[in-house]
Structure 1
């Protein structure tokens, strides 16, 4: 398998961590989707990463689709329950973490898009996205509470998704200082940082 992605993308990081936790072999191909020379559209018509190229050149995209597929490839470190409320709970945590990331990226693009002048940027739009981030952090911290992991006593995709979202805030929004206001999340992030899969995929 070949994974096309960027080392700064939190969605790509989520896939890479799942690959590592599942002990799957793959080749990583770096791609800058913002470059005029990007070839990503030949694999993903949406022009986004991550994109997984499987044997036979079939392409799979969207991180949620990819990680669900990867979890079926090996019985090692099962990350998503097979069905029922447990599965729905894990996928809801992933949706919440990915939603936080969506808002983060929209806020950052509005604030840093190079072809715009300062007076062309919408502070109201940025504030709206930052409010979503704050609300998501509050919900995550409350949902985690005193549990060792997001979905209970076992490490799962819930923790990978949340860990990638928190890591992206550290990477792109260092002034946010979410740790001071969300002690449960801070404890989880400290624990996740000790895992080799998280250490090896720090954004850059």
Structure 2
């Protein structure tokens, strides 16, 4: 398998962490989808990463689709329950984490996209997206409470998705300082940082 992505993308990182936890072999191909010479459209017509290219050449995209597939490839470290309320809980955590990242990306691109003049940038739009990021992180902290992990007592996709969202937020928006505001999330992220899967995929 070949994973096309960027080391700065939190969605790509989520896939890379899952691959590490599942002990799956793959080739990582760096791709800047914003560069003029990007070739990502040849694998994903939407022009986004991550994109997983299988041995036969077929491509799979969207991090949620990819991690769902990867969890079926090996019985090692099952990350997504197969059915029922437990599965819905994990997928809801993932949706919350992805929503924080979605809002963060919209906020960041409004602020830095070079093809938009400064006078065209909307502070109201950026403030709206920042509000979503902060509300999402607060909801994570409330949902985690005093539990050792987001969905029970074992690592799951919930924790991987939340960890990637929090690390990316700290990477791109250090001024938010969610650690001080939400010590329970700080404890969780410190625990995740002890895992090789997180150490080896830090955003850069």
Moved over 3 A (4+): none
Q: Which residue of 2 aligns with 1:80?
A: 80
Q: What TM-score, normalized by structure 1, do the two folds share?
A: 0.99
Q: Which residue of 2 aligns with 1:53?
A: 53
In structure 2, how many angstroms separate the alpha carbons of the residues matched to 1:55 and 1:113? 35
Unaligned stretches of 5+ residues in structure 1: none
In structure 2, how many angstroms separate the alpha carbons of the residues matched to 1:9 and 1:138? 22
Q: Which residue of 2 aligns with 1:11?
A: 11
In structure 1, how many angstroms separate the alpha carbons of the residues matched to 2:41 and 2:117? 29
In structure 2, how many angstroms separate the alpha carbons of the residues matched to 1:76 and 1:121? 47
- Using the TM superposition, give the Cα deviation of residue 46 of structure 1 relative to its aligned residue in structure 2, in angstroms: 0.2
- Using the TM superposition, give the Cα deviation of residue 198 of structure 1 relative to its aligned residue in structure 2, in angstroms: 0.3
Q: 3-state DSSP class of the match of 2:139?
A: helix
**1:58-81: CA deviation from partner (whole Å, max 9, x where unpaired):** 100000000000000000000000
Unaligned stretches of 5+ residues in structure 2: none
Q: Give the RMSD, CA atoms, in angstroms.
A: 0.6
**1:113-150: CA deviation from partner (whole Å, max 9, x where unpaired):** 11222221100000000110111111100000000000
Deviates more, 1:175-184 or 1:84-93: 175-184
- Using the TM superposition, give the Cα deviation of residue 27 of structure 1 relative to its aligned residue in structure 2, in angstroms: 0.4
- Tell me the number of residue pairs that the alignment of Structure 1 and Structure 2 aligns: 204
In structure 2, how many angstroms separate the alpha carbons of the residues matched to 1:131 and 1:101? 12
Q: Which residue of 1 aligns with 2:65?
A: 65
Q: 3-state DSSP class of the match of 2:34?
A: coil
In structure 2, how many angstroms separate the alpha carbons of the residues matched to 1:117 and 1:28? 34
In structure 2, how many angstroms separate the alpha carbons of the residues matched to 1:170 and 1:193? 13
Matched, 1:176 2:176: yes
In structure 2, how many angstroms separate the alpha carbons of the residues matched to 1:141 and 1:73? 31
Matched, 1:141 2:141: yes
